[in-house]
Amino acid sequence: MQELIRQMLADLGEDPTREGLLNTPRLVEKALRFLKSGYDANIDDVLNGALFTVDYSEMVIVKDIDFYSLCEHHLLPFFGKCHVAYIPTNKVIGLSKIPRLVDVFSRRLQVQERLTNQIADTILDKVGPLGVAVVVEATHLCMSMRGVQKQNSFAVTSAMLGAFRNNSRTRMEFLELIKLRSPVPGIRETMRAGYACVGED
């Protein structure tokens, strides 16, 4: 990998032997292996049996989960917030495990729509709740640094499964509770967004 990175630097018109770039291939490889560590993660190991029998049947929400990922088209970052909710039947999942799941799927080459679905589908499969809702809001550097160069735009995707899909009151309660905010500092503190709903059952 490091030799490929050296060749890429040369193809871009740089001198990979100059002082500032001598360590770049090694550092880029190390960074990429960390950013793509989600491929090596085993979901059951991540959850580590953290399912607990609890007499609780109301909505559980973990919101404002920071994430960073790489777009699979340009290998440029996209990042933002993830909001996750589920309605348990007789088991709940340890709260720290939800951000860990977000990390597993974001540390891969991704598109935001797939990332949203993977989080929702995994919680539905592993926890068996009445419903799962996931909303992801993200800034994509492939839009702001290149291409259309729209620095203030961001994408919102959602996956609504089970009760969140079938019951509009439940869905609206979740959306009201998370009160979406822009992931970009200084942009609208509170907003009403149109949702691109993906992965609905």
Residues forming the active site: 71-74, 112, 140, 142
Query: What is the distance between the alpha carbons of residues 121 and 46, in angstroms, rounded to a whole number?
Result: 15
E-assigned strands of the chain? Answer: 51-53, 60-71, 77-87, 91-93, 109-110, 131-140, 155-162, 196-197
* 3-state secondary structure at position 55: coil
The one-character DSSP state at 18 is S
Q: Which is nearest to 200 in space by CA: 131, 103, 98?
A: 131
CA angle, 111 then 180 then 59, to 5°: 95
